[in-house]
Amino acid sequence: MKIPRVHQSHGRWYRSVDTEERLPNGKRRQKWVPLTRVDEGEQALMRALADLSVEPDPGQMPVAIDDYMKAKARELTPGVATEYRRMFAVVKLAFLDFTVDQVRPGDVLDFVQQFSDRPTARRAYKARLSGFFAWCVLTDRCPTNPCAEIRLAAPPARTARFDAAAFWALRAKLPAQGKAFLDLLYLTRQRPTDIRLLRDSQIKDGLMHFRPSKTARSSGAAVSVPMTPQIEAAVKLARSAQKVRTLRDGYVIASRAGHPYTKEGLYKMWATARIAAKLPEGITTRDVRPFALSELEKAGATPRELQVAAAHTEFATTEGYLERHRERVSVTSTLPPKPAGTA
């Protein structure tokens, strides 16, 4: 049995506790608090640990992370806050025996390098740690941000392309709820999260109303999409796949029991269909939205119409989506004219 900060010596268990005194290397000096004898057994040790009154050190990484999340969670949407907590659970385990001011740039680099085969995850963890340590500097828990010196290479550009062929190949391999999810992604041009969390109450007066979660705390941009026959068919398909609707204001995309899908559940469904359709690994749910907007542009939609459809505050953001699918065609040229007297 391995318990953090509990050590065995000469037949007795001890709990190591940080003191206020600093060693020459900057780390806190520790003292060992005696607990029970080893031969008294595990239950006696657990009782002694429970009775031991040790105030949590706000400088300990797990304690500081909990304090940070209490402050940070107010700024995050529920879905993003859940993702933060998931990632910081991994960080807590990695830095369990560290105090905040003990963490050096090399320690952070060693941690993020374990994700070397997942460059996006590596950059995400570095970003989470950088935000955390910036908060620690502002709250006087450490003097500097150990992430400031770390530079990570950008992940390789994705070459996988989502087009009509990929759409229909993927759709053929998805179950009913997956088909409805894909159809609504394309027909409404909204983000995957907003389709996954679409509620019955958002459909009224012949419109499907969206207030995108990504902009809810910034621009507050909203958009309403007319209920075309194809959108109505997608909603009907989603509802037909549910045996039970447990909520009065239920989710449109839900399991057979009426429960909303988690992000991981939909990702697994998507990945299984993508593999069955023999599509490249790089194709994700986020590719449907720019593809749908580019198809609208080809059909003659104006820049303003595209911006409204995407619920973007600035057209520059919409332009970035469209650039992913525009064909780059070079200008034509002819051979240079021959100088006079040239054969």
For residue 210, give the 3-state DSSP assignment.
strand
Give the whole-angstrom CA distance, residue 306 versus residue 11.
Answer: 73
Tell me which residues of the chain have a pLDDT lower than 50: none
pLDDT at 131: 95
Nearest to 132 by CA among 170, 186, 174, 90: 90
Q: Which residues pair with 25 in a beta bridge?
A: none
Which residues, 6 or more positions from 191, have their beta carbon under 8 angstroms from its beta carbon?
A: 212, 213, 214, 286, 289
CB crowding 255-292: b at 16 or more within 10 Å, else e: beeeebbeeeebeebbeebbeebebeeebebebbbbbb
Please report the pLDDT score of residue 104 as a whole number: 92
Amino acid at 209: H
Residue 27: both structure tokens together: 């780390």
**pLDDT value at residue 11:** 85
Q: CA-CA distance, 285 to 186, in Å (whole number)?
A: 10
pLDDT of residue 178: 93
- Which phi-psi region, left, alpha or beta, contains residue 140 (left: φ > 0; alpha: ψ -120 to 50)? left
Q: How much is the pLDDT for 37?
A: 86
- Specify the pLDDT at position 229: 94
> Given this model, what pLDDT does residue 160 score?
67
**Which domains are delineated in the chain?**
6-51 (no CATH), 61-138 (1.10.150), 164-323 (1.10.443.10)
> What pLDDT score does 54 carry?
53
Q: What is the pLDDT of residue 181?
A: 95
